[in-house]
């Protein structure tokens, strides 16, 4: 039987520690002398006491009118509860994650020498589900962007706040937030960059978040993902429901270039990309697709992205001076890509093997020093898969059926169809 796919991953910068999520469990792996071994495991037990059924009910009662959305898998709903947004602090001493169960931010201390390397040191629930998080350059501030458009901040080291004691939001949109970045310009000024389900990217000063610096206008559809490369502090890439990846000089507020991927992605689209019945035309051939994630490479001047429910990632060359984007490579896999992350010029791709019935769950795409090209690192994938298989043997595999997989493919649900005419 195929295993449930790994929903997200993060690795430390030298690639020796890797964290992955399967449903409500975080798995940690250590790499030593080319071999991987499991280094820890943490399961959110709130998921077990609050069964999924209860979780959905809870969504109903405290959201009132949003009941319909919780009932039917509509707009980015938390239909199945998960752990999301794995992020390492800049000094890599802590792992941050978000739990759907109680809409909390989790802080783990990483003890590299302990066989169970993850120690939960803080669990801070929020009134609304965190959709994206970013860590400030002080390594202690986390900015949390929620489903209802607000951004809250918390301190990793501070006390847990009781419900009702929560801080005021530091900024907000009247729209679902989809991503957040804490950035710094060359003069040392700090900013918070937020993207939403409407077409907005907003740049606010930090900590003076009440001063909006600017908006970046140009997207015609929702934005799902943004990233700033470490090798150029004024560059920003963004993508979502549009046919293009956008490159910006966010400091100047100018759009530098667009890379239209609609042609190259066509061969990878399937029936899964046909629009839902209610958005179909008479010919029943309306297709809908969106970029789920865009990430930049740490050193190489390159960004990678994938389109939801396709079996490839696309790598683009970035001209660091002009920000122009050109196709570098398309890397294909046997199954749909579920998540994409990067560390030290290596892309970590997790796959939904249900879509193909076989293959590996995780692929490492590494940059070859001599050619500068990216290739699947087969030996690494194979050694890792062994360690992963051993770790997953102990995991509860119930309910990895098709409806359970739904939340893996909900980026496109952010698309607006203008449901309200009045």
Partner 1 sequence: MKTKPLSQDPGSKRYAYRVNKEENRKELKHVKIDENSVAQKNGKLDLPKKKFYRQRAHSNPFSDHQLDYPASPDEMDWSKLYPHFYDQETGKMAKQVTIADIGCGFGGLMVDLSPEFPDELILGMEIRVQVTNYVEDRIIALRSNHAKEEGYQNINVLRGNAMKFLPNFFHKGQLSKMFFCFPDPHFKQRKHKARIITNTLLSEYAYVLKEGGVVYTITDVEDLHHWMVKHLEEHPLFERLSESWENEDKCVSIMRNATEEGKKVERKRGDKFVACFRRVQTPEII
Instruction: Report the interface residues with partner 1, using CB under 8 A.
Output: 64, 148-150, 168-169, 171-175, 189, 198-200, 204-205, 207-212, 214-215, 217-218, 220, 416-422
First to last CA, the chain: 49
3-state secondary structure of 270: coil
What is the C-alpha to C-alpha distance for residues 83 and 63, in angstroms, rounded to an integer?
A: 21
CB of 59 to partner 1, least distance (A): 14
CB of 412 to partner 1, least distance (A): 14
Distance of closest approach, residue 331 Cβ to partner 1, in angstroms = 33
CB 162, min distance to partner 1, A: 18
Q: How far is residue 16's CA from residue 366's CA, in Å, rounded to a whole number?
A: 14
Paired tokens of 228:
């700033």
Nearest approach, Cβ of 319 to partner 1 (angstroms)?
A: 25
Nearer to partner 1, 90 or 207 (CB): 207
State how far the Cα of 142 lies from the Cα of 7, in Å rounded to an integer: 22
Closer to partner 1 by Cβ: residue 200 or 301: 200
Question: Residue 276 or residue 390: which is nearer to partner 1 going by CB?
Answer: 276
Q: What is the largest CA-CA distance in the chain?
A: 64
Residue 109 or residue 198: which is nearer to partner 1 going by CB?
198
Distance of CA 43 to the CA centre of its chain: 20
C-beta of 134 vs 328, nearer to partner 1? 134
For residue 165, the Cα-to-chain-centroid distance in whole angstroms is 28
Instruction: Output 103 or 293, the one with its CB closest to partner 1.
Output: 103
* Three-state SS letters, 37-88: EEEEEEECCHHHHCCHHHHHHHHHHHHHHHHHHHHCCCCCCCCCCCEEEEEE
Q: Nearer to partner 1 by C-beta: 162 or 211?
A: 211
Of 220 and 266, which has the nearer Cβ to partner 1?
A: 220
In DSSP notation, 201-222 reads: EEEEEES-TTSEEEEE---SS-
CB of 158 to partner 1, least distance (A): 21
Q: Report the nearest approach of partner 1 to the CB of residue 410 (Å).
A: 16
Q: Quick check: helix, strand or coil at residue 282?
A: coil
∠ CA 86-88-92, rounded to 5°: 155
**Number of alpha carbons in the 13 Å side-chain half-sphere of residue 324:** 2
Q: Smallest gap, in angstroms, from Cβ of residue 81 to partner 1? A: 22
> How far is it, in rounded angstroms, from Cα 165 to Cα 266?
50
**Rounded distance, CA 358 to CA 72, Å?**
30
């Amino acid at each position: 039987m195929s295993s449930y796919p790994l929903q997200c991953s993060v690795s430390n910068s030298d690639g020796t520690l890797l964290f992955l999520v399967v449903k409500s469990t975080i798995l940690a792996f250590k790499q030593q002398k080319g071999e991987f071994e499991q280094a820890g495991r943490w399961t959110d037990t709130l998921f077990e006491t609050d069964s999924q059924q209860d979780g959905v009910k809870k969504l109903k009662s405290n959201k009132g009118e949003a009941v319909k959305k919780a009932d039917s898998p509509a707009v980015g709903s938390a239909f199945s509860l998960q752990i999301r947004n794995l992020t390492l602090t800049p000094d890599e001493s802590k792992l941050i994650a978000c739990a759907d169960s109680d809409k909390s931010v989790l802080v783990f201390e990483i003890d590299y020498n302990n066989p169970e390397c993850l120690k939960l040191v803080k669990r801070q629930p929020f009134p609304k589900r965190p959709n994206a998080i970013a860590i400030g350059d002080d390594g202690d501030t986390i900015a949390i962007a929620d489903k209802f458009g607000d951004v809250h901040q918390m301190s990793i080291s501070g006390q847990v706040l009781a419900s009702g004691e929560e801080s005021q939001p530091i900024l907000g949109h009247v729209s679902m937030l989809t991503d957040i970045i804490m950035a710094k310009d060359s003069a040392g000024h700090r900013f918070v960059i937020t993207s939403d389900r409407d077409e907005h990217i907003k740049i606010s000063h930090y900590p003076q978040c009440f001063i909006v610096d600017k908006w970046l206008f140009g997207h015609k559809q929702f934005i799902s993902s943004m990233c700033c490369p470490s090798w150029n502090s004024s560059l920003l890439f963004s993508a979502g429901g549009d046919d293009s990846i956008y490159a910006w000089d966010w400091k100047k507020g100018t759009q530098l270039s667009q890379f239209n991927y609609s042609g190259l992605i066509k061969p990878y689209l399937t029936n899964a990309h046909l629009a839902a019945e209610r958005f179909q035309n008479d010919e029943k051939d309306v297709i809908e697709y969106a970029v789920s994630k865009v990430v930049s490479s740490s050193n190489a001047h390159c960004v990678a992205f994938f389109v939801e429910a396709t079996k490839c990632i696309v790598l683009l060359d970035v001209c660091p001076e002009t920000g122009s984007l050109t196709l570098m490579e398309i890397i294909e896999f046997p199954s749909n890509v579920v998540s994409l992350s990067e560390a030290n010029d290596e892309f970590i791709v997790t796959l939904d093997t249900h879509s193909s019935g076989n293959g590996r769950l995780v692929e490492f795409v590494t940059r070859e020093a001599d050619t500068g090209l990216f290739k699947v690192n087969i030996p690494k994938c194979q050694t890792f898969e062994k360690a992963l298989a051993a770790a997953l043997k102990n995991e509860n595999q119930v309910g990895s059926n098709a409806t359970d997989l739904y939340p893996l493919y909900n980026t496109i649900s952010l698309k607006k169809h203008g449901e309200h005419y009045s």
